[in-house]
Amino acid sequence: MSRRYFHVAAASELLFEAAIACPAHPGITFDGLAVDHTSAGDQVFVIVSIHDGELRAYLGPDHDTTQRRGSLVAAGLISNPDIRLEVQEAAEVLSWLTDCWEVARECLDTAAEADADLVLAQIPLERISAA
């Protein structure tokens, strides 16, 4: 069973068919989105996994919270004895995590009424993979 961080129990998960690996550290993946319809206005979270899903985190629902949560994930990657990222690598991971959320948010903003699978299909994965 995986450990979850910042999990939102009420959110529905929309997972990609294949997770997208972080260019700075391939052991970190963008797995999909979680959307919480129960709050005032939909809240969107990026689902990321570390070590093949051993650890999962929901990042979002806004830019500032994504940055804070992403910073905690990056700090954990520096101090984790099995990973031990360098500070520069952790900064690259944080930038990529933020990019994932921003790209997903842009797509959802333009397709607010769209079908969930259609939204996932419209996310420009090349922007995330090349970050």
pLDDT (tens digit per residue) in 70-111: 999 988 888 877 777 888 998 999 999 999 999 888 877 665
pTM: 0.78
Burial status of residue 3 (CB atoms within 10 A of its CB: 0-12, 13-18, 19 or more): exposed
Would you list the domain boundaries of the chain?
3-129
Indicate the pLDDT class of residue 1, thresholds 50, 70 and 90.
low
| Assigned token pair, 31 | 């797995």
Looking at mean pLDDT, say which of 25-39, 60-74, 101-115 comes out highest: 60-74
Q: What pLDDT, on the 0 to 100 scale, is given for residue 128?
A: 64
Cβ within 8 Å of residue 13, ≥6 positions away:
32, 33, 34, 47
